[in-house]
Chain A
Amino acid sequence: NAGVTQTPKFRVLKTGQSMTLLCAQDMNHEYMYWYRQDPGMGLRLIHYSVGEGTTAKGEVPDGYNVSRLKKQNFLLGLESAAPSQTSVYFCASTIGPERPQHFGDGTRLSIL
């Protein structure tokens, strides 16, 4: 049972480049989340989804887009990467708001 899988694990981008982070879960969870973790700031919610085909903005959505075309996948896109988006990105999923969230191991993204 893989749980929540994030790809890639590491990536270095140049300013202005675009990329997509993939999150896949095999637990049939409805809810999925993208967070970023920065030193001294804790985890901040970027976007989330409460079911296939739905997305909603979190606390820090600017500069990011998301899609949930399939229930098991939640994609996070950076259209034009900026150095301020250097961070560790975590994906999480849960079957419902009363249940624990399951996290992936993160994607470490550096933007030069």
Chain B
Amino acid sequence: KQEVTQIPAALSVPEGENLVLNCSFTDSAIYNLQWFRQDPGKGLTSLLLIQSSQREQTSGRLNASLDKSSGRSTLYIAASQPGDSATYLCAVSPASGTYKYIFGTGTRLKVLA
């Protein structure tokens, strides 16, 4: 059974720092992986989607990498800002073709001004 883990559960950093959020999964047979952002009381917003054949995706100050063989993905945030404060979740889609996602419990990020 696929399990997705995100460590740490919470993280506080001063503004301007570069930071890395981690996501690990137990079964390397995945279809793709998504990183989401969730603001308090809101739904999830997709940040980056990495297909199983890809190694990384970039969008602005965000860079997500995927290492299927080790069951790991990282989300790199450059020059963090207070507006980046949110919960970040990763989710993997199993390669079985059922189009379902398994979510991690998220990392709650606070960027201090």
Contact = CB atoms under 8 A, between A and B. Distances in A.
Contacts, number: 59
Given A90-B43, A97-B32, A102-B46, A50 B99 contact: yes
A33 B43 CA distance: 13
Nearest to B42: A105
A103 B47 CA distance: 12
Contacts of A100: 34, 46, 49
B19 to A, nearest CB: 21
A101 B105 contact: no
Give chain A's interface residue range (CB within 8 Å of chain B).
20 to 34
Interface residues of B, number: 25
A50 B100 CA distance: 10
Nearest to A106: B43
A74 interface: no
Interface in B36-62: 36, 41-46, 49, 51
B101 A40 contact: no
B33 to A, nearest CB: 11
Contacts of A105: 41-43
Contact of B105 (A42, A90, A98, A102): A42
Contacts of B104: 42
B93 A97 contact: yes
Q: A59, A97, A101: which has the most chain B beta carbons within 10 Å?
A: A101
Given A42-B89, A42-B106, A99-B49, A48 B99 contact: yes
Contacts of B76: none
Given A42-B89, A97-B32, A100-B49, A58 B100 contact: yes
B17 to A, nearest CB: 26
A104 interface: yes
Nearest to A49: B99
B32 A98 contact: yes
Interface of A: 4, 31, 33, 35, 40-45, 48, 50, 56, 58-59, 90, 92, 97-106
Q: Top 4 A-B pairs ranked by shortest CB distance? A: A100-B46, A103-B43, A43-B103, A42-B105
